[in-house]
Amino acid sequence: MPFCFVYQSGILYTPLDEKPKSTDPRSLKRVRNIRENPQVAVVVDRYSEEWSSLAHLMVRGAAHLLEPADHEHAGAVAALREKYPQYRAMRIHELPLIRITPETFTAWGDLSAGPRQDLDVMDLMRGRRSVRWYTPEPVAPEQTRAILEAGRWAPSPHGRQPWRFAVLTRPEPKEKLAAEMAATWQLQLALDGQPEEVVATRLRKAHDRLVDAPLVVVLCLYLDELDAYPDAERQESETTMAVQSLGAAAQNMLLTAYGLGLDGGWMCAPLFCPEVVVSALGLDARLIPHAMLTFGHAAKDPVRRPRRPLDELIILDA
């Protein structure tokens, strides 16, 4: 039978929604089947009008009923509502979910990651996830160019585009940048009072996260061409506008990468040691590194943090 699902943190969840039913959801045939034999199979299809592009994944695993009182339930409901807008008006938070722990995966067909051409802008925004770890598969040069082109079209104060992009694909510059930033990372972690073993683990993960990413784009502010004011207050606002536009450029890049079948992550580490980044990469001293975007093919599904309901974010609707 077809069904809706989310996959997060290595677990597959599917709801027992509130369609009119004459019996308690716990008495449904598929729930009774799970209680009698928890071994289940799920087939996920990637459909295409071009039959040679069809792909299929069979997941076999153990299922059980996840009750609303279980600590996992709320997170799974939030993920389902993020993926399927129709669930936001349904009371699935009051009903059990089916939780499936995968044991084996069998795939066939065209398994290459292609562009997500069937997604509109809202789908791209809801589908994009923040990825930390990537497979070694490189990002194609034309994909890199498309990502940077998307950043170029971000809105900016007075149309000045007060940012520049340092593009890292080779291991050597990434390794040099990670090595020279490590001293700052270590000092900052020590200031936080973290144990030495925790500091060492976090340093290793930060290093690997940067070096192992197939594509790294360092986002730098470039303020020389912005309007100049005689008073400090307006000049500070001008800089704030530039920072805001840098965020718009980053979002353009992340959404474009996702639309191309890639994944991306946002690292703010350069913001805490911009001079070190400039020195390590031999950049113009007028540049101010603010962030790094990493791109590639996700090595594993990240944990999706639930979003607050829209009504909590609207503080005035006049």
The predicted-structure confidence for 129-147, as pLDDT tens digits, reads as follows 899 999 989 999 999 999 9
Q: Is residue 313 part of a domain?
A: no
Residues 58, 166 within the same domain? no
**Do 50 and 96 have their domain in common?**
yes
Q: What is the pLDDT of residue 123?
A: 83
Residue 62 included in any domain: yes
pLDDT at 303: 76
Task: Write down the pLDDT at residue 152.
Answer: 95
Domain around 140 = 121-296
Tell if the pTM clears 0.75, that is, is over it.
no
- Range in 22-31, 94-103, 137-146 the model is least confident about: 22-31
166-187 confidence digits (pLDDT tens): 999 999 999 999 999 998 888 8
**179 and 250 inside one domain:** yes
| Single residue among 85, 112, 139 that ends a domain in this structure | 112
Q: Same structural domain for residues 131 and 192?
A: yes
Residue 303, domain member (yes or no): no
Same domain, 81 and 153: no
Domain check: are 101 and 234 in the same one?
no
pLDDT for the residue 189: 81
* Poorest-pLDDT segment among 18-22, 115-119, 264-268: 18-22
Residue 311 maps to a domain: no
Q: Does residue 159 lie in a domain region?
A: yes
Looking at the fold, whether 135 and 88 belong to one and the same domain comes out as no
> Does residue 166 belong to any structural domain of this protein?
yes
The residue out of 112, 135, 169 marking a domain boundary is: 112
User: How far apart (Å, rounded) are the C-alpha atoms in residues 45 and 307?
Assistant: 27
Mean pLDDT of the chain: 89
Instruction: For residue range 58-90, list pLDDT tens digits in order.
Output: 889 999 999 999 989 999 999 898 888 888 888
CB-based contact 7:80 (threshold 8 Å): no
**Number of structural domains found in the chain:** 2
Q: Which CATH number do you get for residue 90?
A: 2.30.110.10
Q: What is the CATH number of the domain that holds 169?
A: 3.40.109.10
Same domain, 142 and 105: no
Candidates 244, 45, 273; CA nearest to 162 is 244
Q: Is residue 172 part of a domain?
A: yes
Give the number of other Cβ atoms within 10 Å of residue 35's Cβ: 11
Read off the tokens for 123: 């789908």
Per-residue pLDDT tens for 268-285?
A: 999 999 999 999 999 999
Most confident of 11-15, 76-80, 284-288: 284-288
Do 95 and 154 fall into the same domain?
no
**Which among 79, 94, 112 is the end of a domain?**
112
56: confidence class by pLDDT, cuts 50, 70, 90: confident
Residues 134 and 272 in one domain: yes
Same domain, 236 and 130: yes
Exposure pattern of 38-56 as b/e (b: 16+ CB <10 Å)? eebebeeeeeeeeeeeebe
Query: pLDDT digit string (tens) for 188-205?
Result: 887 888 888 888 888 898
Residue 117 has pLDDT above 80, yes or no: no
Residue 254 lies in a domain: yes
Q: Give Cβ neighbours of residue 235 (< 8 Å, ≥ 6 apart).
A: 228, 229
Residues 246 and 279 in one domain: yes
